[in-house]
Amino acid sequence: MKSKPSVSEILHHMGEDSLPLNAVSPPIFQTSIFCFESFEKFQEALADESSHFLYSRGNNPTVNLCESKLAALEHADSAKLVSSGSAAIALSILAFVKKGDHVVMVEDAYSWTRYMVTDYLSRFGVEHTFVEGKDPRDFERAIKSNTTLFYLESPTTLTFKLQDLKAVARIAKVHGIKTVIDNTWATPIFQNPIDLGIDVVVHSASKYIGGNSDLVAGVIAGSMEDINHIFNTEFLPLGPAPDPFMAWLIMRNLRTLHIRMPVHFENAKKVCRFLQDNPKVESVLYPFAAGYDQADLAVSQMRGGSGLFSFMLKTRSRDDVKLFVNSLHLFKRAVSWGGYESLVFPAAVKFADDQEIPAGKLPLIRLHIGLEDADELISDLKQALDKIS
């Protein structure tokens, strides 16, 4: 068997040795349609859009080159680029359920992912059960005769709970249930769920794959059969086509993915150590932090961690939380993550001033640790922590 191409080969060379006019940077095929030299060729393309260039809502050469790299990175046969991570998630869920089916989902999944089962699929008679997911038996116990899909996100991106991917995939296989995982946090640099038996991997490429906070995109990776199924039954009719320029931007940003991720990892570990030793901090939620309750599982299924984690302040004062957040200079106050820059997202910001904040949410601060100098980030956190009780 041919050995898998290295990450560098995928990011820097794959599919790029015979570009038009010997261009080094892949050309952007900014075209909506492709034409045919004859009736017969036209007929052929219409009969099988998944393997022809016909219309850019389906395939586009710039997009396809990017997809071949994303598939290889995830050790998948095939991948589809879509217009957002949420589109990737919606398509992957919709493709594997029909009226009367049942989905088991991790309860701390991304908010719009939860919405898909609580508000969207419920309109079409699809049931769901949320599970914590730290114990693989959570999934097993939730199975019903009509369960067709397990939806995972490991780790979850506010509470950082992991699922044992191998064990959950094994349970799913026994019961003929499809598995979809959101792998946005770890990226394919640090975790390859398909190698552990998971069927379909989705990403918000708006995070590390894009890596520069300058685009919104999503990825779906899996077997040829599953991706073709999603292409024909969901992608073509719903129409979340990626723009060729966006695919080009992703390829450009991907070239540094394997360099960026270890820096996020080292920086995050340093900042975690500082926070764990700071008297104003109650606890740190990072799978690779010293003493983390799922540290063994983290090491067994991931080669490293990214720059996103949460921590709990000791204070229970809303004013302290605001003062801390407002005192930061290097951390930008914003949603999302995965770019070069550090960000702060306090869980309390989702609540109006006259609204009660659940006890576990008030002191919860999520940080994205960017590519800046870790010591400078630590100094910034220190001066802000020094201001609160």
Q: Does 84 bind ligand PLP (CB under 6 A)?
A: yes
CA neighbours closer than 13 Å in the CB half-sphere of residue 119: 5
Nearer to ligand PLP, 45 or 158 (CB): 158
To the nearest whole angstrom, how small is the minimum distance from the Cβ of residue 96 to ligand PLP?
18
Q: Which amino acid is at 123?
A: R
Distance CA 155, CA 308 (A): 10
Q: Does 306 bind ligand PLP (CB under 6 A)?
A: no
Per DSSP bridges, beta strands 127-131 and 78-82 are unpaired
Check if the beta carbon of residue 218 is closer than 8 Å to that of residue 185: no
Applying CB under 6 A, among 60, 157, 192, 213 the residue interacting with ligand PLP is 157
Applying CB under 6 A, among 61, 85, 304, 307 the residue interacting with ligand PLP is 85
Q: Does 182 bind ligand PLP (CB under 6 A)?
A: yes
Distance CA 154, CA 184 (A): 9
298: Cβ–Cβ under 8 A, 6 or more apart, which residues?
155, 162, 287, 288, 292, 305
Q: Does 187 bind ligand PLP (CB under 6 A)?
A: no
Applying CB under 6 A, among 86, 147, 187, 301 the residue interacting with ligand PLP is 86
Q: Could you tell me which stretch among 72-80, 84-92, 189-197, 253-261 binds ligand PLP (CB under 6 A)?
A: 84-92
Applying CB under 6 A, among 184, 187, 228, 342 the residue interacting with ligand PLP is 184
Nearer to ligand PLP, 179 or 206 (CB): 206
Structure tokens at 209: 């794959």
157: Cβ–Cβ under 8 A, 6 or more apart, which residues?
110, 184, 185, 308, 337, 366
How many degrees, rounded to 5, is the angle at CA 30 between CA 15 and CA 228?
55
Nearer to ligand PLP, 113 or 315 (CB): 113
Check if the beta carbon of residue 78 is closer than 8 Å to that of residue 223: yes
To the nearest whole angstrom, how small is the minimum distance from the Cβ of residue 89 to ligand PLP?
6
Query: 333 pairs with which residues across the strands?
Result: 344
Residues comprising the chain, all counted:
389
Nearer to ligand PLP, 84 or 310 (CB): 84
Q: Does 309 bind ligand PLP (CB under 6 A)?
A: no
Q: Does 253 bind ligand PLP (CB under 6 A)?
A: no
Q: Does 206 bind ligand PLP (CB under 6 A)?
A: yes
Nearer to ligand PLP, 184 or 191 (CB): 184
Applying CB under 6 A, among 147, 148, 163, 204 the residue interacting with ligand PLP is 204
Q: Could you tell me which stretch among 8-16, 44-52, 193-201, 202-210 binds ligand PLP (CB under 6 A)?
A: 202-210
DSSP-derived secondary structure letter, 33: B
Task: Please report, as residue ranges, which positions from 314 to 333 form the binding site for ligand PLP (by CB under 6 A).
Answer: none
Structure tokens at 149: 């899909």
To the nearest whole angstrom, how small is the minimum distance from the Cβ of residue 83 to ligand PLP?
8
Dihedral (CA of 198, 202, 203, 209) sign: positive
Contact residues for ligand PLP, defined by CB under 6 A: 84-86, 89, 110, 153, 157, 182, 184, 204, 206-207, 216, 218, 336
